[in-house]
Amino acid sequence: MPKLVLFSGPAGTGKTTISKKLLEHIPAIYLDKDTVGGRASEKILDMSGMDINDRDSGFYKQHCRDLEYDSTMDVALENLEVGSNVFLIGPFTKELANKKWIDETLNRVGLTQKDVDVKVVMVTLSNQEAQKERIIDRNTERDNWKLNNWSEFVSGLKEIEVNWNIPEENILRFDNSGELTESKIKNIVEFINKTNH
């Protein structure tokens, strides 16, 4: 049974670092929604006279945001159909809030949760200063708004709820504070590999 593992959480919590480290232990197709949909968003923003690095405006959310997520899921579904594990990286906030989303999305290609082992790793970081430092360190122009409006960005953060109809034991809340040790990675690997059906 292929695994669909979603790594969700706010910017700067370490979703990318953790998920890439896990690839050393679990073979999977790696899909970051920023990579899959980023170029299309840049083109739409550029053609509309907007900042190509904008990921926070109402215009981006109306015209680009869902396109990025839908494109990422199209690629994910195609790989799940042929039996590949898939790692999905992105906040997926709206999707996680929609109780029907995961089942309806799998059903688009005739799959159900009996065919795919769905797991969610919610990555958090209790130290907001560490979160800011990580965002600064990754040095991408897409983060400029967040850094220039840090108080507003932080005030808008809230714990992402997983409303999908999946077993509670298929959800891991992982505080990525401190060093990402091999022991921590091993625990996440065990969570992903465990079959709860």
CA distance 119 to 34: 20
Taking the model in full, what pTM does it have? 0.83
Question: Mean pLDDT, to the nearest integer, of 118-124?
Answer: 93
Tell me the mean pLDDT in the region 182-188.
95
In 10 A of CB 56, how many CB atoms? 18
Q: Are strands 29-32 and 3-8 parallel, antiparallel or unpaired?
A: unpaired
The share of the chain scoring above pLDDT 90, in percent, equals: 63
Q: 126 vs 73, which has greater pLDDT?
A: 73
CB 41 within 8 A of CB 123: no
Residues linked to residue 172 through DSSP beta bridges, in sequence order? 121
Between 145 and 180, the more confident residue is 180
103 has pLDDT over 70: yes
pLDDT tens track for 11-48: 778 899 999 999 999 999 999 999 999 999 999 999 99
The rounded distance, in Å, linking the Cα atoms of 99 and 176 is 26
pLDDT for residue 54: 84
What pLDDT, on the 0 to 100 scale, is given for residue 155? 52
For 72-101, what is each residue's pLDDT tens digit? 999 999 999 999 999 999 989 899 999 999
pLDDT at 144: 61
Grouping H, G, I as helix, E, B as strand and the rest as coil, residue 114 is: coil
